[in-house]
Amino acid sequence: MKLALGTVQFGIDYGVANTKGQVQIEEVHAILNYAQKNGVNTLDTASSYGNSEEVLGKFVVNDFKIITKTTSIKKGVNEVVRNFHQSLKNLKQQKVCGLLIHDINEIEHKRFDALFIELARLKQQGLVKKIGASVYNSQQIDYLLDNFSIDLIQLPINILDQRLISNDSLIKLKKHNVEIHARSAFLQGLLLMSTDTIPSWFNPIKDTLKLFHKEAKKQNLTKLQLALGFVQSLTEIDKVVVGVDSLKQLYEIINASSVKVNAVELSNISINDPIFLNPSNWKV
């Protein structure tokens, strides 16, 4: 099973298509149970996801592989390490599968090298199995590969955002034996929205979105099946991180995950403008 469960919605109100807000605790329990029974064995979280880690800590999540992320380096490397130990307490875990540098822009910080040394130390201590970073572009990937020994990377990829495919970044990562987790498979839900409900701010890319909808109909697939099938079909991708705000959504995603598509034939349904591909740039 390539699916990993993103838990940001468990801690905060998140996503352009989310109309329900933060997931209620009873629903979280149902989601985790269903995920476990259906082979979804990886949870993606972060201390900055509101109280997501504390919510997960309320349940027995020992059978899951947990990936969490660092806090900001601005208050010092020791503070990052202290916060990681707090994450372990919040999660009620003695160790986690992965620890990612959350804010890759802190590469520019003079203490970034020292931070990575501390992550390697946490790995040596057996508190973390794999270390790495959450990135946005190929320049960040190249910098990490050239300067550090990383095991795991999380990156954005979807049918609209094929930049890391076309520039061979995925192939390069695999040559370095890096585990790749894809996020933003649905572009925060934008790909699953009907054309009528998409905010007008996205008008410049509506033709491409319509092309995506048209391709789904042509292949007799739902938008969900085509969007998920595209990312899952990429052989370099080890996990596809999907966030849900209800058990129904997880049920639909797991059902859709069996669909296979030919990603090579879908290269025309893509754009290159980071204004629309990076949700942090959205004006909605």
Terminal CA-to-CA distance of the chain, rounded, Å? 34
pLDDT digits (tens, 9 = 90+) for 31-47: 999 999 999 999 999 99
38 neighbors 74 (Cβ within 8 angstroms): no
Domains for the chain: give ranges and CATH numbers: 3-281 (3.20.20.100)
pLDDT band for position 20 (cuts 50, 70, 90): low
pLDDT digits (tens, 9 = 90+) for 82-106: 999 999 999 999 999 999 999 888 8
Stated as kind and residue range, the H or E segment containing 44 is strand 42-44
Statement: residue 16 has pLDDT above 70: no
Average pLDDT over residues 194-210: 93
Residue with the larger pLDDT of the pair 279 and 236: 236
Sign of CA dihedral 161, 165, 168, 172: positive
19 neighbors 192 (Cβ within 8 angstroms): no
**Mean of the per-residue pLDDT values for the chain?**
93
Sign of CA dihedral 235, 139, 208, 166: negative
pLDDT band for position 110 (cuts 50, 70, 90): confident
Average pLDDT over residues 132-140: 95
Stated as kind and residue range, the H or E segment containing 256 is helix 247-256
Residues 6+ apart with CB under 8 A from 58: 25
DSSP structure class, residue 102: S
